[in-house]
Amino acid sequence: MSTEHLSFPEDRSTERLDAFLVVSFPYLSRSQVQKLIASQQVLVDGVPTKVSYKLKGGELIEVNIPEPELAEAVPEEIPLTILYEDHDLIVVDKPPGMVVHPAAGHVTGTLVNALLHHCDDLAGIGGELRPGIVHRIDKDTSGVLVATKNDQSHQHLAAQFKARSVNRRYLALVGGQLPGSSGTIDQPIGRHQLQRKKMSSRTRHGKRAVTHWKVLHTYLADRLSLIECRLETGRTHQIRVHLSEQGVPLVGDPLYGGRNSLKNLADQQLRQLLEKLPGQALHAQTLGFVHPVTGKYLEFSTDLPPVFAEIVDYLQQKYANPEGTG
């Protein structure tokens, strides 16, 4: 068990103990902090206290952080496409259909299960022997994802994501055409007020979300468009929500209207290709960041997964004009 000591500034406004510790230890989640407080691993002026305790200024705080324990997820021998790996992090090309982190209904077969089996040099993240998931991509979204192996790397990369300095570029096939050749969508995103599985910009508690887009090709008299999206922020379902609310949902997206792209297509071969998509046609093509230890900028890009690539190849061969804009 390691012990950390810190003090609450005397000139700071009153703040809850758990809120202060979450900021002080960014690698610990709020639930982990609250668990430490509840188990009397946090002392304020030498005395255990409650999660809701209000710090007023000048208090001395002692935090006992247990040694890492094996995470609940179990290691599984699942093939991985590894783009880069060292003692601090690992970069993989996640296939469509793979969930990143175990959750209700997806306890096994996740990327975390695979990483626990593959990585034999995990140093612990937030008190658990597990890979550090700094960002996530949806189950049916494919592409580049980085995970960390220790607290130092996790904190450093998390800070880069928070500062919006990470280069994240996606390829998306959408139904319809956006206004112009490029633009920016700056709309807050939060939980949908009625449909809890969905996110929406039409919510009272949304957080700012910014997506920059550029049209690469249009096909079928503008009925389909291949676009590049660059994320400035990383909210849940951000690209899916932003494009859907612009009237151009991702092709194949069952949650945000993308299934309608399959309707009334005269090209039966194209229709059959689109029906092979496991979900939304979205690929995290490029990820660039500064290595948390060496300080070197790293960037990784991957090709479209087979089904997505087959659709784009077909559209290019049949519908692209000589200038390549479709």
Q: Which value, in Å, is the radius of gyration of the alpha carbons in the chain?
A: 23
Report the pLDDT value the prediction gives residue 258, as an integer from 0 to 100: 72
The answer to whether residue 315 scores a pLDDT higher than 50 is: yes
Token digits of residue 206: 């949304």
Most confident of 106-115, 123-132, 174-183: 174-183
In Å, how far are 33, 108, 148 from 222, measured between CA atoms? Answer: 51, 41, 41
Q: Which whole number is the average pLDDT over 285-310?
A: 98
Domains in the chain with CATH codes: 2-66 (3.10.290.10), 70-162 (3.30.2350.10), 167-319 (3.30.2350.10)
Band the pLDDT of 70: cuts 50, 70, 90. Answer: very low
Q: What is the 3-state secondary structure (H, E, C) of 47-114?
A: EECCCCCEECCCCEEEEEECCCEECCCCCCCCCCCEEEECCCEEEEEECCCCCCCCECCECCCCHHHH
Instruction: Point out the least confidently predicted range of 138-147, 257-266, 306-315.
Output: 257-266
Close Cβ partners of 178 (under 8 Å, ≥ 6 residues apart): 213, 215, 225, 227, 246, 248
Q: Which residue has the higher pLDDT, 322 or 48?
A: 48
pLDDT mean across residues, the chain: 89
User: Rounded CA gap, 270 and 147, in Å?
Assistant: 36
Pairing of strands 282-290, 142-148: parallel
Token digits of residue 230: 């660059």
Please say if 121 is a catalytic residue: no
The three-state secondary structure class of 128 is strand
User: By C-alpha distance, which of 302, 262, 300 is closest to 280?
Assistant: 262
For residue 262, report the phi and psi dihedrals to the nearest 5 degrees.
Answer: -85, -10
Report the pLDDT value the prediction gives residue 159, as an integer from 0 to 100: 94
Q: Which whole number is the average pLDDT over 71-93?
A: 91
Q: Which of 93, 138, 151, 253 is catalytic?
A: 138
pLDDT tens figures, 122-143: 766 555 556 888 898 999 999 9
